[in-house]
Amino acid sequence: MKPPARLATELCGLTLSTPVIAASGTFAYGVEMDGLVEWPWIGAVVVKGLSREPMNGNPPPRVWEAASGMMNSIGLQNIGVRSFVETKLPGLRRLGVPVIANVFGFAVEDYQEVVRVLEDAGGVAAYELNVSCPNTKHGGMFFSADPALLADLLGQVLPLIRSGRPAIVKLSPNVAAIEPVAKAAEASGAQAISLVNTFVSLAIDARTRRPRLGAGFGGLSGPAIKPIALRLVYQAARAVRIPVIGLGGIATGEDAAEFMIAGASAVEVGTASFWDPASVGRIARELERFLMEEGVAAARDLVATLDMGEQKK
């Protein structure tokens, strides 16, 4: 059964059946989930991050279950953009769901090459540029930590997108203030921003006095980060005019509604898919039920309706 029209969402020129999207990192490349999920109820799939060359990732252990969340240090393991185009993209095209390619790199040239390869391939609806990576040519400073560095990256990558595919910039929460970075993305030509990525964190085994993860630090995700993610989405949505995609601890339809009320035009589901691959479709169904119960005609009517009352002052 197809989702009702009240869930249909327009996002930077894309028509999505629902505003609930499978986030990058916990949904593999999408094709692996065929037979486990209800594709009509999934607005889009953001594939696992793609790099210029294949990457093996970090040493194990790579995942640790934290209180109300999960820590990971996968190390951006992936098959590389060329192998993705050859082995994964053909199957994705047959699923009938918009495909968003998550792109990352450690230098401007990395992003450029991944985009060049994808521009020559059919079946990609949009790009999500993950700018949470350290720029190895600038002493390891993260692209998302400096508005000027982010603007320089986008200024050299976005002109290579000649297909008309929209570019979404995925922002890190590990910054002093989200507004300057969000504004830099908008001013540089991004059609949307998505946030948040994981929070840098550390888990320790007190008995061995060693980190729980092989690489030491990891990224915290899941329900534990939701209140902080909501605050950042609210602040970013008030700072820019382009659409905001919210993510961070979404596990229910009401969670999705909260992000939309905070200002998100759509949401991405990550960690919930890790323990239940069917979570994205379930959350979309729960959101539809929430709209009916609350007498809301369409999902888009939730966007940016938060009443902060006297707290605005």
**Catalytic site residues?**
133
Alpha carbon of 24 to those of 47, 100, 128, 151, 170: distances in Å? 5, 9, 9, 23, 10
- DSSP for the chain? -PPPGGG-EEETTEEESSSEEEPTTSSTTSGGGTTTS-GGG--EEEPSPB-SS-B--PPSP-EEEETTEEEE-----B--HHHHHHHTHHHHHTTTS-EEEEE--SSHHHHHHHHHHHHTSSS--EEEEE--SEEGGGTTEEGGG-HHHHHHHHHHHGGG--S---EEEEPPS-SS-HHHHHHHHHHTT-SEEEE--PEEE--EETTTTEESSTTS-EEEESGGGHHHHHHHHHHHHHH-SS-EEE-SS--SHHHHHHHHHHT-SEEEE-HHHHH-TTHHHHHHHHHHHHHHHHT-S-GGGGTT----GGGG-
User: How are beta strands 218-221 and 199-201 bridged, if at all?
Assistant: antiparallel
Neighbours of 210 (CB within 10 A): 11
Q: Are 26 and 63 in contact (CB under 8 A)?
A: no
